[in-house]
Amino acid sequence: AQTVTQSQPEMSVQEAETVTLSCTYDTSESDYYLFWYKQPPSRQMILVIRQEAYKQQNATENRFSVNFQKAAKSFSLKISDSQLGDAAMYFCAYRSALTGTASKLTFGTGTRLQVTL
Amino acid sequence: DSGVTQTPKHLITATGQRVTLRCSPRSGDLSVYWYQQSLDQGLQFLIQYYNGEERAKGNILERFSAQQFPDLHSELNLSSLELGDSALYFCASSVRPLAGGPRDTQYFGPGTRLTVL
């Protein structure tokens, strides 16, 4: 079974600065997808970014980018120019790409990000 | 707005009771997933339906059941409720074979907060 580990329960960043959230995962599969979801105080789960394991290029979405290290099974999220609205819980998630398997998401325990002035 | 709707937003009930949570997926999405978010268990996959058929089961209790209707909306039924069932229940949808877009990405509804007293 796949597992996802987020070892930083809480992080803090100053507005306009850059912060990196860590995520590691364990799998025996070679093809899969990785995601970062954001959960603000409203509790809505919002997709931040996705990465396909077969692509070596790191995904980027505006101020959000990832550092995907497949051999190390590491998938960190970098937030540049942090804004107050980035304050939220961030979840890393794994999904198998194997045909015929359940396409459920396996989540990490989350990292709470605080953004200070 | 993800396009996934869930009703009700909040539900307060007593132990031993039965409730039904409803989810409408994004237009054209065939898959519906149910997740439970609780303080002690984190985000857990419960069950997946694809075009009306059960596709996968996760950590879903026997007291819980779900179905997906011909119009693709889904309902999660929770019975003989216990205090420990208090949680945020999310529905997510994915797969848009006609509209295109990434088939692997799940979009979440706003959730239903269940409180069992």
Candidates A47, A97, A107; nearest CB to B43: A107
C-alpha dihedral (B24, B28, B30, B36), degrees to nearest 10: -30
Q: How far apart are CA A117 and CA A65, in angstroms?
A: 22
C-alpha dihedral (A30, A33, A38, A43), degrees to nearest 10: -100
Q: What is the pLDDT of residues B29-68, one digit of tens each?
A: 888 999 999 987 789 999 999 889 998 899 899 999 999 9
Contact B106 A105 (CB under 8 A): yes
Q: What is the pLDDT of residues B51-110, one digit of tens each?
A: 899 988 998 999 999 999 999 999 999 999 999 999 999 999 986 555 555 567 899 999
Identify all chain A residues contacting B108, using CB atoms and an 8 Å cutoff.
37, 44-47
Q: Which of B59, B89, B103, B108 would you mutate first to test chain A, the one with the most A CBs within 10 A?
A: B108
